Amino acid sequence: MKESPFDNFRSVDDMAWAEDRLLSLGLKIDLDRNVKSYTSESDAFIVYADPRRKYQIEFSIYLKQFAQVRAEPPIGYFGLSDYWTNSIDQKYQKRLLMTIREADEFHEIQRFG
Please give the full DSSP string across 26-68, using - where no structure is assigned: T-EEEEETTEEEEEEE-SSEEEEEE--BTTEEEEEEEEHHHHT
* Residue from 81, 2, 76, 23 nearest 46 by CA: 76
How far is it, in rounded angstroms, from Cα 33 to Cα 61? 24
65-74 per-position pLDDT tens digit? 755 656 678 8
72-101 per-position pLDDT tens digit? 788 999 999 999 989 999 999 999 999 999
8-53 per-position pLDDT tens digit? 899 999 999 999 999 999 999 999 998 999 999 998 899 999 999 9
Q: What is the pLDDT of residue 46?
A: 93
Q: Which domain holds residue 106?
A: 5-112
- Domain count for the chain, please give it: 1
How far is it, in rounded angstroms, from Cα 44 to Cα 12? 33
